[in-house]
Amino acid sequence: MTDADATGGRRQAELVTRLGAVRARIGAACDAAGTDMSTVTLIAVTKNHAVDDIATLARLSVFDIGESKDQEARAKLAELDETARSPLRWHLVGRLQTNKVNSVVTYAHAVHSVDRPKLARALADAAAERRSTPLEVFCQVSLDGDPDRGGVLEADLPALADLVAGRDELVLRGVMAVAPMDAEPDAAFEQLARISARLRREHPDADAISAGMSGDLEAAVRQGSTHVRVGSALLGRRDQIFS
Ligand SMILES: *Cc1c(COP(=O)(O)O)cnc(C)c1O
């Protein structure tokens, strides 16, 4: 066995352990909430981690991969061979500039950070030209009303959701949020659950809730999250290999 194989083997063993621990946390939160674990999708947020980790996760049947930046996602995609790449679903979870949409629509399964009409229109226009299946969209909502941190204000969500739902190239899946820094996660995600319920009055199929990260996934699952985005608990400290 080469040193590289040994290192890869250790890393895989570490990921197996971490994945088990994260799944146990999600399972316990589902049990406590009386929901079935199959209703929660685990998205492995691999930003700032090596592409080898993505291949390892795929071997462990984790196919939902989250990245913050188009550039980094695209670089990793280019490094994966077809066998590793084909089962993956890429989720863009970070703030997205409209000049990235032509790239993003070529590989993304879902964008979780759609927070303004201009971005939604740009994604739909790019998708019309560059892909054959609709792009899944989560509207990112600001829970603290601070637009600098990303997210549409709750008052502006209905118009954004109508726009997304009105475009054949997009599928409105639901809402996404990050709990504000100083907020109590349960209260924040309860607020998001209320926003989701109001959205579903107009868009009954938009029932997904993308909420919960390494530090607050239990609170998110308690409040009905369907998509948890977990980075550091699954992969450890980020090495900043991409800038
Ligand atoms: C980085 C990131 C995550 C994962 O965060 P961890 O705390 O490492 O689990 C989830 N969502 C978004 C939007 C992120 O940028």
* pLDDT above 70 for 109: yes
* pLDDT above 90 for 218: yes
What would the pLDDT profile of 23-58 be if each residue is shown by its tens digit? 999 999 999 999 999 999 999 999 999 999 999 999
Nearest-atom index, ligand 1, CA of 112: 13
CA distance 132 to 119: 19
Question: What's the burial of 35, exposed, middle or buried (CB within 10 Å: 0-12/13-18/19+)?
Answer: middle
* pLDDT above 90 for 184: yes
pLDDT at 123: 98
Nearest-atom index, ligand 1, CA of 68: 15
pLDDT at 234: 98
CA of 70 from ligand 1 middle (Å) equals 15
| Residues paired with residue 139 on neighbouring β-strands, in sequence order | 114, 175
| Structure-block tokens of residue 40 | 């929660």
Give the distance, in angstroms, between the CA of residue 172 and the centroid of all CA atoms in the same chain.
14
| Structure-block tokens of residue 197 | 């319920």
CA distance 229 to 177: 11
CA distance 119 to 125: 10
Q: Closest by alpha carbon to 176, among 112, 89, 94, 92?
A: 112
Mutation to probe ligand 1, out of 213, 218, 230 (largest number of atoms < 8 A from CB): 213
Q: What percent of the chain stands above pLDDT 90?
A: 89
Per-chain mean pLDDT for the chain: 95
pLDDT at 221: 98
Nearest-atom index, ligand 1, CA of 233: 9
Report the nearest-CA residue for atom 12 of ligand 1. 93
Give pTM, 2 decimals.
Answer: 0.96
* pLDDT above 90 for 96: yes
CA of 7 from ligand 1 middle (Å) equals 26
- Through-space distance between the first and last CA atoms of the chain, rounded to whole angstroms: 32
Alpha-carbon dihedral angle through residues 208, 213, 218, 219, given to the nearest 10 degrees? -70
Residues with CB under 6 A from ligand 1: 45, 47, 68, 93-94, 178, 213-215, 229-233
* pLDDT above 80 for 243: no
What would the pLDDT profile of 119-176 be if each residue is shown by its tens digit? 999 999 999 999 999 999 999 999 999 878 899 999 999 999 999 999 999 999 999 9
Helix (H, G, I), strand (E, B) or coil at 137: strand
CA distance 127 to 125: 5
